[in-house]
């Protein structure tokens, strides 16, 4: 197994943010939202349900980047209201443009905050979601503890991240497979992210420490693990 090599916690230069935003995340984001909705049975409310209860479904997205997943989720789930958080100002600047173009500024609020120290009250969100934040964090347990804290009783957590390959050869093959048409810096970013990711065993150990079953984390592609959990009431 290759050693975990940390990458910078923040991607906060203009070139990093622009290169990240320019990469083709469309299919990955679509699958993320597909899997999220299926895993927690999240569906659009019917008009009849809206008449009975029009309470927003409050979501927080940790490490939102340029807010592409919140935009995708808003297109699917009209009752979703999303707090999109990132510690990188340059990412949020692009995210602001993205949500304005999508005409959903009334449903997505951007928040400049660190996922290791969230400025939100306990139990504030029905859903905490995150795509690819864990590999950026030297001690991911702190982020997961914060995520659990702000999840409401009976609410859900849905995290997906890269999974560290077993060998340098496997890592190189993943880079070739998924970023062969990207520029050199984008390929480098992806390789470094794979190096910084947790293995399936490591993330399973971590959620078990936090009181969740190991099998709530599964390998969901050749390069991703996914954690789906419900906070006990």
CA of 42: how far to CAs of 11, 128, 132, in Å? 31, 13, 21
- Tell me, what's the pLDDT at 163? 98
On the CB side of 107, CA atoms within 13 Å amount to 22
- Tell me, what's the pLDDT at 52? 87
Cβ neighbours for 80, distance < 8 A, ≥ 6 positions apart: 56, 57, 59, 73, 74, 107
- Tell me, what's the pLDDT at 48? 87
- Tell me, what's the pLDDT at 75? 95
pLDDT in tens, 101-150: 999 999 999 999 999 999 999 999 999 999 999 999 999 999 999 999 99
pLDDT in tens, 69-85: 999 999 999 999 999 99
Q: Where in the chain are the domains?
A: 14-39+53-166+198-230
Above 90 in pLDDT, residue 167?
A: yes
Higher pLDDT, 211 or 18: 211
Pairing mode, strands 125-131 and 217-219: unpaired
Q: Which helix (H) or strand (E) holds 208?
A: helix 200-209
In the numeric block, the tokens 């939202």 are attached to 33
Say whether domain 14-39+53-166+198-230 belongs to CATH 3.40.50.150: yes
């Amino acid at each position: 197994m290759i050693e975990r090599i940390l990458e910078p916690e923040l991607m906060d230069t203009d070139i990093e943010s622009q290169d990240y935003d320019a990469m083709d995340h469309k299919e990955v984001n679509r699958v993320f939202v597909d899997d999220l909705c299926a895993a927690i049975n999240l569906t659009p409310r019917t008009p009849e349900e809206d008449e009975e209860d029009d309470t927003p479904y409050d979501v927080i997205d940790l490490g939102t980047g340029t807010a592409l997943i919140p935009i995708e989720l808003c297109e699917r789930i009209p009752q979703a209201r999303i707090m999109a958080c990132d510690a990188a100002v340059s990412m949020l600047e692009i995210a602001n443009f993205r949500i304005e173009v999508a005409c959903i500024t009334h449903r997505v609020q951007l928040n400049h905050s660190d996922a290791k120290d969230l400025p939100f009250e306990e139990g504030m969100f029905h859903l905490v979601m995150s795509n690819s934040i864990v590999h950026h964090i030297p001690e991911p347990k702190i982020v997961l503890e914060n995520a659990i804290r702000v999840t409401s009783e009976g609410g859900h957590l849905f995290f997906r991240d890269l999974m560290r390959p077993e060998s340098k050869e496997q890592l190189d093959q993943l880079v070739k497979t998924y970023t062969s048409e990207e520029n050199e810096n984008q390929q480098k970013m992806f390789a470094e992210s794979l190096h910084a990711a947790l293995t399936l065993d490591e993330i399973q150990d971590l959620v078990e420490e936090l009181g969740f079953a190991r099998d709530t984390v599964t390998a969901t592609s050749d390069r991703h693990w996914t954690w789906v959990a419900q906070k006990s009431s």
